[in-house]
Amino acid sequence: MIRVLIADDEGMIRSALAALLRLEPDIDVVAECADGEQAVAAALRLEPDVCLLDLEMPGLDGVEVAERVTRAVATRCIVITRHARPGVLRRALASGVSGFLPKSRGADEVAAVIRRIAAGERYIDSEVAADALRDERCPLTDRELDILRAGRRGETTGQIARTLSLAPGTVRNHVSAILAKLAVSTRQQAVLTAEEAGWI
């Protein structure tokens, strides 16, 4: 029996997917979580075989959840998303995600991917993979991306500095570099550009 955790902040989608997967004879949905923090706590407690994680969740997103979970337990993670941006795929793979697929796939396809991941394989949706090969590279450094992630909900320079253990002046210098590289005038515009490109 493959033990699965599902995390999605959209209750109807989460419940429907859980109900459909429970119809599979070899899949047992052991937890349903409404956000990333819940998913990490449940995954560390239950150690499911596979975590099925929505990318766009409040707090920790699916990739951040996968990174924390796979560092701590032998659980494999699949990220699902409505917007399968190539930059997100690269970030997911770098974080130890084993599978990546769009939400447009049916429950039978999701079940088949869960089986493959549980068996030790990797699965990347072919359309997403093809887009990733065509996508332009991110011009920002890892530290600059960290700063955008830490400030994506409007956090102040001081809050970002505390989150990343940096001096406020260092954060301001990085923000200036980000604005110049992306040719935008505000940090909010930079966050939006980076999100649309799938870099954060």
User: For residue range 111-162, what is the model confidence (pLDDT) as tens digits?
Assistant: 999 999 999 999 998 877 776 666 667 889 989 999 999 999 889 999 999 9
User: Domain residue spans in the chain?
Assistant: 2-134, 142-197
Output the pTM of the full model.
0.70
Task: Mention the CATH class of domain 2-134.
Answer: alpha beta
The Cα 47–Cα 50 span in angstroms is 9
At the topology level, CATH places domain 142-197 in Arc Repressor Mutant, subunit A (1.10.10)
Q: Give per-residue pLDDT as tens, 164-188.
A: 999 999 999 999 999 999 989 999 9
Does residue 86 contact residue 138 with C-beta atoms inside 8 Å?
no
